[in-house]
Amino acid sequence: MSITIYHNGECSKCRGALEILQEKGIPHEIRWYLAEPLSIPEIRSLLAKLNMQPSELVRKSEPLYKEQYEGKAISEQEWLVILAENPILIERPIIEKGEGDNCAAPGKGV
């Protein structure tokens, strides 16, 4: 079983989720998604596992969202591109378990 945590070290929820994995001795990989942004296919794959639309993955409390995107009519396809280009807008943490359909939704805990 491989677990990947999509991690932002500045996020307290990400740090908390990572601590839980470490405390329980659960083997995991860390994807520093701000330094290594997700591609559109990777975002699509996570969204399918989460059963979410791109707009549902947007971190609406982020200043960038409020300054540039709030209140605008943006299609789901456009959100995919925006998320790939602006990974800070991806809600977190996301924890992916293996290659199957297992994924923990952002903000929902481990």
Residue 102, helix vs strand vs coil: strand
Concerning whether 11 is annotated as a catalytic residue, the answer is yes
Secondary structure (DSSP) of 6-72: EE-TT-HHHHHHHHHHHHTT---EEEETTTSPPPHHHHHHHHHHHT--GGGGB-TTSHHHHHHTTT-
The pair of structure tokens assigned to 82 is: 């925006």
Catalytic one of 2, 6, 10, 11: 11
Catalytically annotated residues: 11
